[in-house]
Amino acid sequence: MYAEGVAEMAGRIRDEDIALVRERTSIAEVISDTVTLKSAGGGNLKGLCPFHDEKSPSFNVSPARNVWYCFGCGAGGDAIKFLMDAEHLSFVESVERLADRAGIQLRYVEDDRSAPRRDRSQQGQRQRLVAAHAAAVDFYRAQLSTAGARPAREFLARRGFDRAAAERYGCGFAPDAWDLLTKHLRQQGFTHDELVTAGLSRPARSGSLIDRFRRRLLWPIRDLTGDVIGFGARKLFDDDDGPKYLNTPETPIYKKSHVLYGIDQAKREIAKQGKVVVVEGYTDVMACHLAGVSTAVATCGTAFGADHIGVLRRLLLDTDAVAGEIIFTFDGDAAGQKAALRAFEDDQRFVGRTFIAVSPDNMDPCELRLAKGDLAVRDLVARREPLVDFALRHVINRYDLDTVDGRVEAMRRAAPLVAKIKDREKRPEYVRKLAGDLGMEIEPVQRAVLTAASGHPAGEPAAPARSGPAAPTVDSPQSMVEREALKLALQEPVLAGPMFDAVEAGEYRHPVHVAVRAAIAAAGGAAAATGGAVWIEQVRDACDDLAGQALVGELAVEPLRIDGEPDPRYVTVTLAQLQWGSVTGRIKDLKSKIQRINPVSNKDEYFALFGELLSLEQHARALREQAAGGL
């Protein structure tokens, strides 16, 4: 998400101004507003992480490099990223807040043809559109008290919502008039184009401007910061020939694939609890919140998709280090079951665990609260089951398990679901469970799952695993040296850059270290970097691997394994140790290969490999001398 935020800024705030904000910002002062920091030695600071519960401090701040990293949950970044995570701000909002704090006047790019325009005029446009929506909220809320809004008030009352609940969620009413809101907003100074662009008004056939919503109950839809960016409108009258729910159209500020209703009220609890409940409608969100399920959100006029997942992952801190809970509530009817299976397809996009909660009576949360009270809604969420269990049961129930053909076909359809389970350690248990549910022996079920996991059609054997040296463990000598070399490139690029870049990427063996080394190259190489938070974020943004992104933040604050300041000799020793470990591994493989060759019948190959071995051994001796006192 952070990388996306940076990309979004292209063509808006000048890059040099963003760099100046980073340079002028004291990360320790910014974080100290939220976290009590104490000295951790080596110039670093330490405190309790604000993003997850912990008893001992694992949240580290490096003032010298203006970066932070939590060894407990894996979050990290610079001051901009901290505000984004702590205050749930966008990249733009974080930069602007820090600029105000540092007394920096930001400049906006006037014309950038290579990126979507985000100049001053568009910044002003957003403010105008948000202001128009705020004025519309006040208008619609006032209309809810009029005589003509009685059907809207009765609708809310029938669903268990009193006046206080309506006010809490800003519910309103669009009156039985063609242009009452339009005239009201025009009188407040909003232009024809602004009202059309905002989606509040639309041109009529006559050419005049009329209200988009009429004779409907309205819910204001807010973004993460609490700004109203659109409306959801529910039909109340039988003679209304429009859809049951009508939403604001796509606008510069309202993108339905990114919007989640209730996110403004739920965001802090989602971040705090590491849990989100996804429901289907506005009244379901209201019912959940009022019943004590404060993490509920809903989509707005579209199916739950990848962009919604991106929003929730940022709030959940859904990383390899921290896995939250995503709980879907769907009706028990056919449409609800279909939606649940779609959700399982998206399950792989989350690191966290996904669950489903279905009422035994096929009632949605709003109906359940009305019929059985707040406790029943909380119990519904508490009785959640893993989404994979629900998906498997749904597939199996479609077949007659009393017949051989039914059991075999159910196994074929269910095996790919088990193969998709993210946590590989759980797959054997689900293989046993599936075999038990089908009444089959475990071996054929296991083969079906392995075949599905390999991506090969049924009956086709999977390709054998590649041979080659295994990746070193995290705490092996080779991995420790690789880690130290990467720390030098991230923390001391001016010192280590030229020597670091000269060492081939193939010298790294641990897969996550390989990903970080590739990201350093993709960011332009250590030799061209000046260090600090900007460099670290460039490397993080260039890393496609989630574990690698977390490791960049970790290495940026982890102390080097040397007393005092590093010097060129320390860089030379570290990089020599790195290459020595790789070269000795190749020597070992080469010796093994030579032993398998007959020097009589394959004389040319034998002597060619023997010459390569002598050259590698000479290289190893030179590296060992450079790394004197090393491994």
Q: pLDDT-derived band of residue 330, with 50, 70 and 90 as boundaries?
A: confident
Q: With 60 as the cut, is the pLDDT of residue 467 above it?
A: no
Dihedral sign computed on CA atoms, order 117, 123, 127, 128: negative
Q: Which two tokens stand for residue 231?
A: 């409306």
Instruction: Give how far Cα 550 sits from Cα of 397, 488, 546, 618, Å.
Output: 42, 17, 6, 38
Report which of residues 332 and 404 the model is more confident about: 404
pLDDT of residue 113: 40
Q: pLDDT-derived band of residue 459, with 50, 70 and 90 as boundaries?
A: very low
Measure CA 231 to chain center. 26
pLDDT digits (tens, 9 = 90+) for 202-219: 999 888 999 999 999 999
User: From CA 217, how far away is CA 156, in angstroms rounded?
Assistant: 9
pLDDT of residue 469: 45
Q: With 70 as the cut, is the pLDDT of residue 278 above it?
A: yes
The mean-pLDDT minimum among 17-26, 93-102, 457-466, 604-613 falls in: 457-466
Q: CA-CA-CA-CA torsion for 386, 387, 388, 389, nearest 10 degrees?
A: 60
Quick check: 135 and 190 in contact, CB under 8 A? Answer: yes
pLDDT of residue 175: 97
Question: E strands, 533-614, where?
Answer: none
Name the nearest CA neighbour of 318 among 281, 347, 285, 279: 347
pLDDT digits (tens, 9 = 90+) for 57-80: 888 898 988 888 887 777 788 898
pLDDT (average), residues 564-575: 82
pLDDT of residue 499: 81
Q: Decide: helix, strand or coil at residue 391.
A: helix
pLDDT digits (tens, 9 = 90+) for 503-547: 888 888 888 899 999 999 999 999 888 888 889 889 988 988 777
pLDDT of residue 517: 93
pLDDT of residue 123: 45
pTM here is 0.59
Measure CA 502 to chain center. 34
% of the chain exceeding 70 in pLDDT:
83
pLDDT (average), residues 233-255: 93
pLDDT of residue 26: 92
Q: Which two tokens stand for residue 168?
A: 């809490």
User: From CA 515, how far away is CA 261, in angstroms rounded?
Assistant: 37
Q: With 80 as the cut, is the pLDDT of residue 486 above it?
A: yes
Most confident range, picked from 168-172, 266-270, 440-444, 549-553: 168-172
* CB-based contacts of 426, cutoff 8 Å, min separation 6: none
DSSP assignment of 70-94 equals: ETTT--EE-HHHHHHHHH---HHHH
pLDDT of residue 569: 80
Q: Decide: helix, strand or coil at residue 246.
A: strand
pLDDT of residue 503: 83
Q: pLDDT-derived band of residue 176, with 50, 70 and 90 as boundaries?
A: very high
Report which of residues 200 and 461 the model is more confident about: 200
Quick check: 494 and 463 in contact, CB under 8 A? Answer: no
% of the chain exceeding 90 in pLDDT:
34
Long-range contacts of 265-272, Cβ-Cβ distance < 8 Å, separation of 24 or more: 265/289, 265/294, 266/294, 266/295, 266/296, 266/297, 267/88, 267/224, 267/315, 268/88, 269/294, 269/295, 270/295, 270/297, 270/312, 270/315, 270/316, 271/51, 271/88, 271/315, 271/316, 271/317
Report which of residues 50 and 26 the model is more confident about: 26
Name the nearest CA neighbour of 35 among 91, 92, 75, 94: 75
Quick check: 566 and 494 in contact, CB under 8 A? Answer: no
pLDDT of residue 338: 66
Q: With 90 as the cut, is the pLDDT of residue 99 above it?
A: no
User: From CA 101, how far away is CA 95, in angstroms rounded?
Assistant: 10
Question: E strands, 330-407, where?
Answer: 353-357, 385-386
Strand order in the sheet with 44-47: 38-41, 44-47, 59-62, 67-70, 76-77
Q: pLDDT-derived band of residue 230, with 50, 70 and 90 as boundaries?
A: very high
pLDDT digits (tens, 9 = 90+) for 303-323: 787 778 777 776 675 545 446
Phi, psi of 113 (to 5 degrees): -75, -15
